[in-house]
Amino acid sequence: MARRKRNTHSAINAWPGYVDALSTLLMVITFVLLVFVIGQQFLSATITQKERTLSSLKEQVDHLAKVLSLSQEEVKQLKSDNQLKNAELATLKENLDEKSKNLQELQEKSSSLEATQFRDILDLSKQVSALSQQLEMISKALDLEKQKESDKDQQIEDLGKKLNIALADKVTQLKRYRSEFFGRLREILKGKHGIEVKGDRFIFPSEILFPTGSAELTAEGKSEIRTLAKTFRSVASTIPKDIPWILRVDGHADRMPIHSIFPSNWELSSARAITVVKMLIAEGVDPHHLAATGFSVYQPLAKGTSAEDYARNRRIEFRLTDR
């Protein structure tokens, strides 16, 4: 019993120890749990932060991967460009070498040309010097010729003045002989109907000399030409030989168309003038002082269309003039 009391007493005394141990254990467990919770929260926060950091790092890695991919493409492009540039550089080097070679050849040619040109310049200088001397000689010769030409011009001018004076004198003399010739004819033919003196011309109507539309002289016409030839020979014998004169016989017609052997009034007026000249020659007039011309209808005395106007325009004119 006493042992049972000791055992009971021992059991009662052990319970507080268990309680204390359990309390201590509970406190330890609580502390551990608290530490665990706090650690878990801290770990959770840390993990969250790490996840955020990891996500950010992943984004950075993705961005860097993209950048790396772009950089690799750029590197490839740069390599390709570099190859092209290298090829261009090689081509440029070849061109440069070719240009350098050409430049060297040109320099060699230039040196050769410079030597040749220098010799040519020396030759040209000698030629220029010789030409300058020749030019000086020619210039002196030209000056001498100009002086001679000036002297000749003066002589020609003096001769021209003398010639003009002489010609004026001859013209004056010819006018005097013409006046004498016309004066004698005027006296001889005084009273002849239609014959007139107009200025320096002696005018015979064609009706006195020719039949209508013909170039053959009538009997009366031949008589008139013989009289004129006799008077003219008398005057011509007194004209000095140094006076250049002619008796011009001009044939004129009217505007009426003709129907004869002559195609037109040109041929008729010319043929009549030639007929008169031939008879003057036959009567002893020097042919060197005779001329025959035909004027057709283009030098009329009268502008009208009446029979009288046509009759005035059909005529033979004699003109003593200089050649």
pTM greater than 0.75: no
Mean pLDDT of 40-46: 78
Q: Where is 44: in which H helix or E strand? A: helix 2-188
Third-level CATH fold of 189-322: 60s Ribosomal Protein L30; Chain: A; (3.30.1330)
- pLDDT for 2: 54
Mean pLDDT of 127-140: 83
pLDDT-derived band at 201, boundaries 50, 70, 90: confident
Most confident of 55-59, 165-169, 210-214: 210-214
Q: Any bridge partners for residue 294, and if so which?
A: 251
196 or 203: which carries more pLDDT confidence? 203
Q: Give, in order, the Cα–Cα distances in Å from 195 to each of 192, 201, 219, 295, 316.
A: 6, 11, 17, 19, 10
Lowest mean pLDDT among 109-118, 218-227, 252-261, 303-312: 109-118
Mean pLDDT of 79-88: 84
Mean pLDDT of 13-29: 76
Q: CA nearest 313: which of 189, 183, 219, 194? A: 194
DSSP state of 93: H
